[in-house]
């Protein structure tokens, strides 16, 4: 099990502006083949911030609609640390059972046998520690799954980071209002350190980190 660590730095002047504008740091993840559409972690920054998480996941099911700012409220979920290569099933009574055979390699799978709705929202959740505070159960992905269909979810290790106001942790986000920086963690790169650049509104290499070339990518906000 890999443990990842992200350090994010700001100057005193930057913090004053962010607090005045009620702007927060937003972190998102996602799954391969799907655009990141969930604000995984949102926090008011300090001058030096540390975020850490383990490579462990759970599956949740929710009636939440995939609209901007909707808070994800699960009605059923699995324990953290579930297995890939297996199949979990949402039964008609709203309970997730498993694992059983029938999944796919390196992928989390959930079959929707819940007949009380034509479709549900499902996804993966992952715990984190932010500046010493443990945050559990926040979603990293959200996709619709039809009744009698199976959702396949392959989590990516990339982290997306940006600044935005009026966004909450564990909520759907489809409108991003500032530049996004993608931080590419990998099986050989577990720690990244960045600082905020006020001129570009992006995050850049802190200089003292072991950030490898090509692990930062800047993405324009839609």
Q: Which domain holds residue 9?
A: 3-219
85 φ/ψ angles, rounded to the nearest 5 degrees = 65, 15
Structure token digits, residue 158: 């990339």
Predicted structure pTM score: 0.92
Q: Over 60: is that where the pLDDT of 208 sits?
A: no
Tens of pLDDT, residue by residue over 159-186, are: 999 999 999 999 999 999 999 999 998 8
61 vs 142: CA distance, rounded Å: 9
Tens of pLDDT, residue by residue over 129-162, are: 999 999 999 999 999 999 999 999 999 999 999 9
192 vs 125: CA distance, rounded Å: 22
pLDDT of 217 reads: 55
123 vs 75: CA distance, rounded Å: 12
Structure token digits, residue 207: 């200089």
Structural domain count of the chain: 1
pLDDT of 132 reads: 96
Answer whether 122's CB lies under 8 Å from 110's CB. Answer: yes
pLDDT of 218 reads: 53
**pLDDT-derived band at 213, boundaries 50, 70, 90:** very low
147 vs 90: CA distance, rounded Å: 10
pLDDT of 144 reads: 97
C-alpha distances in Å from residue 46, one per residue of 11, 20, 211: 9, 14, 22
């Amino acid at each position: 099990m890999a443990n990842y660590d992200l350090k994010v730095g700001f100057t005193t002047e930057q913090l004053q502006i962010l607090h005045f504008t009620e702007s927060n740091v937003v972190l998102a993840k996602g799954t391969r083949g799907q655009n990141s559409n969930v604000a995984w972690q949102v926090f008011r920054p300090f001058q030096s911030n540390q975020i850490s998480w383990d490579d462990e996941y759970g599956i949740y099911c929710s009636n939440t609609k995939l609209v901007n700012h909707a808070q994800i409220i699960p009605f059923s979920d699995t324990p953290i640390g579930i297995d890939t290569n297996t199949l979990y099933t949402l039964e008609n009574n709203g309970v997730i059972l498993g694992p059983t055979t029938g999944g796919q390699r390196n992928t989390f799978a959930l079959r929707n046998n819940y007949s009380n709705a034509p479709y549900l929202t499902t996804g993966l959740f992952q715990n984190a520690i932010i500046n010493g505070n443990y945050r559990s159960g926040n979603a990293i992905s959200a996709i619709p799954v039809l009744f009698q269909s199976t959702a396949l979810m392959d989590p990516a290790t990339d982290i997306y980071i940006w600044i935005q106001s009026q966004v909450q942790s564990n909520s759907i986000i489809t409108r991003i209002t500032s530049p996004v920086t993608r931080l590419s963690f990998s099986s050989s790169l577990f720690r990244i350190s960045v600082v905020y650049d006020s001129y570009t509104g992006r995050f850049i290499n802190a200089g003292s980190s072991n950030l490898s070339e090509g692990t930062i990518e800047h993405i324009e906000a839609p």
